[in-house]
Amino acid sequence: MIDRSFKYGDRVQLTDAKGKLYSITLAQGSEWHTHKGMLKHDELVGLPEGSIVATNQDLKFQAFRPLLADYVLSMPRGATIVYPKDAAMILGVADIKPGIRVLEAGVGSGALSISLLRAIGEGGVLHSVEIREDFAEISEKNVSSYFGGKPANWNLTIGALQDQSYEADFDRVILDMLSPWECLDVASKALVPGGVFMAYVATTTQLSKIAEAIKESGNFTEPESSESIVRGWHHEGLAVRPQHRMIGHTGFLIFARRMAPGVPVLQRRRRPSKGSYGVIE
């Protein structure tokens, strides 16, 4: 049976009775201090996940290893992160799977990079491009901290994606940037036929511009766009209702697939809108 008890060097998530989260990394002889007493790291070592620990003034916490969502929401940030709900959609809709090659641009704080690396496994390759050196440094620290070292299958380039040159060597291209339409030519050249292009944008203006650019390029299928909205629920006995606060709009996802070179896009047939009809006399 695998020993899953806490060890020195483990990151531990502590949750109090109010649901507030704290994160510590276990170090021999260290102490964690709160407004109500302190907790010795040594007291957690050897305990299984799901244990209850208490400070010397009896303030109690549940102890677990943090999930990926817990880690990315608490890690240092340089740029706004891709939230777990959107990262999950990207992995699912873009069909991110073990062994594939992914080109990512707009790394920010590294939240999506971590999710992509976990999904592609050791047999896959992630090549990330970040225009800002300070963001690249933060993301490299966050990714290395999560995996216990920089993954061997992760390459990080500092610079603008438009300035890079790639042959058709990637199965997926994921863009999280202000102007993804400026990178469509690079994305087209980088993707293998049938590869997936996906962009994550915040506003309807950006969504409109990237959608029209995809259509005008002639290199991709008809783009599809969506957003995800998560609403939690309160349940206390028979009092079951939506929570007053929810994670609403964070961003839009737009998806298309790379056509074979030289093959025209099959135009999607649509019913004309009412406004397109002529005036009946």
Q: Summarize the annotated binding site for S-adenosyl-L-methionine as residue ranges.
A: 109-112, 130, 176
Residue matched to tokens 């049976």 = 1
Q: What is the token pair recorded at 165?
A: 């040159």
H-type alpha helices, 75-218: 84-93, 111-120, 133-147, 184-190, 204-217
Known binding site: residues?
109-112, 130, 176
Residue matched to tokens 């050249």 = 189
Alpha-carbon dihedral of residues 161, 162, 166, 167, nearest 10 degrees? 140
Say which DSSP state 130 is in. Answer: E
Buried b or exposed e, range 158-179, using 16+ CB within 10 angstroms = eeebeebebeeebbbbbbbbee
Question: Within 10 A of 263 (CB to CB), how many other CB atoms are there?
Answer: 10
Contacts of 10 (CB under 8 A, 6+ apart): 25, 26, 65
CB 139 within 8 A of CB 109: yes
Residue matched to tokens 């899953």 = 4
Q: Which of 204, 207, 206 is nearest to 224 (CA)?
A: 207
Q: What is the token pair recorded at 97?
A: 């799977």
Q: Which of 176, 170, 136, 135 is nearest to 156 (CA)?
A: 136
Residue matched to tokens 């050897």 = 46
The torsion angles phi and psi of 182, rounded to 5 degrees, stand at: -75, -10
